[in-house]
Amino acid sequence: MVQTTEAQSPIAAAERLRETLGDGPVAVVTGAGISTDSGIPDYRGPDSPPRTPMTYQQFVGDPAFRRHYWARNHVGWHYMRETHPNGGHRALARLEAAGLVSGVVTQNVDTLHEAAGSHRVIDLHGRFDRVVCLSCGRTISRARLAERLAALNPRFAESVADVEVAPDADAVLASTEGFRVADCEFCGGMLKPDIVYFGENVPKERVLDAYALVDGAESVLVAGSSLTVLSGRRFVKHAAKQDKPVAIVNRGPTRADDLAALKLDTGCTEVLEALTEAYGA
């Protein structure tokens, strides 16, 4: 593996990325690190405090926990909706339009790749802007649910002053007692954000989609992921098994450093912007 640090310029880093990735098509795997410049904190980055994630079992098994979750989400999801793609997201969209990038597999639920104009996006861990019924399987928009929650809890959002935003649209509240949760309007079933939680599997068709993207690519670029939990590491392994070069841009170590032909220990935005220059995209 060739490892470098942020000491080199984005232009030099992009040149080396281009040498590794070749003429494409390039399958891209992204994680929280690509969205930090959009103001979404990366709780798994090197400077992050430890955080205990919610599990699927907690959500479905404990009504009080679920109420607390929805109350926090009711506040936090508004913030997520107001975030904007950054130069890194836009660079990947441009590289797709130029025919170099064939698609993005993202571990993020923020939908910022779609907002930036990427067309082939596999939202491995779901999307913050959708809600799924665990009984009938219907999905509805989070905006639609927001209307229902607001009607059920007319003064709740206004009473909350201090909001800390997490990648899954959580917000920290002092008290969530008395918050009223909404059930599926079609069947009365339990609603859950259409997000893959810890203890839950990524839907199989999404995984197969992502493998197919790697199969059709000549190289893989990992941007802003340490490839740890619920990881995209299997796709990197899949590429490495086929002797396809893998390049990683990430602050701090990743769980696939040993599989990478090139590792750049740096943030995403400037390097990806420089990469569009390097490819003339």
Nearer to Zn ion, 5 or 186 (CB): 186
Neighbouring CB atoms inside 10 A of 121's CB total: 22
In angstroms, the CA 234 to CA 236 distance is 5
Q: Is 135 in the site for Zn ion (CB under 5 A)?
A: yes
CA distance 152 to 33: 36
Residues contacting 89, CB < 8 A, separation 6+: 34, 35, 38, 112, 113, 115, 116, 118
Burial of 243 (0-12, 13-18, 19+ CB in 10 A): exposed
Q: In sequence order, what E strands does the chain have?
A: 2-5, 26-30, 101-106, 121-123, 126-133, 139-141, 191-195, 219-223, 246-249, 262-265
Residue 199 interacts with Zn ion (CB under 5 A): yes or no: no
Strand-pairing partners, residue 221, are: 28, 247
**Could you give the string, one character per residue 75-104, with x where binding to Zn ion holds by CB under 5 A and - elsewhere?**
------------------------------
Strands 246-249 and 262-265: parallel
The distance of closest approach from Cβ of residue 70 to Zn ion in the complex, given in angstroms and rounded to an integer, is: 16
Taking contact as CB under 5 A, which single stretch among the options 24-32, 105-113, 131-139, 253-261 is the one that binds Zn ion? 131-139
Does residue 225 have a known ligand-binding role?
yes
CB of 96 to Zn ion, least distance (A): 35
Determine, following the binding rule CB under 5 A, whether residue 133 of this chain makes contact with Zn ion: yes
Contact call for residue 134 and Zn ion (CB under 5 A): no
Residues that contact Zn ion, how many (by CB under 5 A): 7
53 is in an annotated binding site: no
The residue with tokens 């599926």 is 184
In the residue annotation, 74 being an active-site residue is answered as: no
136 touching Zn ion, by CB under 5 A = yes
Tokens for 257, please give them.
């450093």
Find the binding residues for Zn ion in span 165-194 (CB under 5 A). 184, 186-187, 189
In the complex, the smallest distance separating the C-beta of residue 60 from Zn ion, rounded to whole angstroms, is 14
Taking contact as CB under 5 A, which single stretch among the options 101-109, 127-135, 145-153, 172-180 is the one that binds Zn ion? Answer: 127-135
Binding-site residues for Zn(2+), in ranges, read 133, 136, 184, 187
Q: Which residues of the chain form contacts with Zn ion (CB under 5 A)? A: 133, 135-136, 184, 186-187, 189
Active site residues per annotation? 125
